[in-house]
């Protein structure tokens, strides 16, 4: 299983970016997907998650209302639309896939994600 994250970059505060995570896996597999971020000198933190069905999503309080996670099952791709970016959003963003359950399952714990992408850097200037 391979995950490929992309879409990061440098943006001014108040701007937007859309991250993508492509999962190279059989369409018969079922997985939840989460986005996490890590800033220099800080622990990795949960950002957003979406269930296999797409019916359940969750967000960290710091991004709720500004970020939106979605998926295109036909493309095995999950997106993270990030609006109203602030300098505190600056971090390396990575996506993880959790194959524990399908359906409406998701988790906010990084420990349960078995596979990770390489990360994409997001830098928000003030």
Q: What is the pLDDT averaged over residues 15-33?
A: 87
Report the b/e string of 72-89 with b at 16+ CB within 10 A: eeeebebbbebeebeeeb
Which pLDDT value is given to residue 44? 95
Residues 61-109 have pLDDT tens digits of 999 999 999 999 889 999 999 999 999 999 999 999 999 888 899 999 9
DSSP-derived pairing of the beta strands 9-12 and 120-125: parallel
Token representation of residue 9: 């970059």
Dist. CA 21–CA 2, nearest whole Å: 10
Q: What is the overall mean pLDDT for the chain?
A: 94
Residues 36-54 have pLDDT tens digits of 999 999 999 999 999 999 9
Token representation of residue 98: 């959790």
């Amino acid at each position: 299983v391979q995950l490929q994250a992309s879409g990061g970059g440098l943006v001014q505060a108040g701007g937007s970016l859309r991250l993508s995570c492509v999962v190279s896996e059989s369409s018969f597999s079922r997985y939840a997907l989460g986005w996490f971020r890590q800033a220099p000198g800080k622990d990795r933190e949960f950002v957003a998650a979406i269930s296999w069905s797409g019916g359940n999503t969750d967000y960290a309080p710091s991004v709720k209302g500004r970020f939106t996670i979605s998926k295109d099952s036909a493309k095995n791709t999950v997106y993270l639309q990030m609006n109203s970016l602030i300098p505190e959003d600056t971090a390396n963003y990575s996506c993880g896939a959790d194959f524990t359950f399908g359906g409406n399952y998701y988790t906010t714990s990084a420990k349960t994600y078995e596979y990770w992408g390489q990360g994409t850097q997001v830098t928000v200037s003030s």
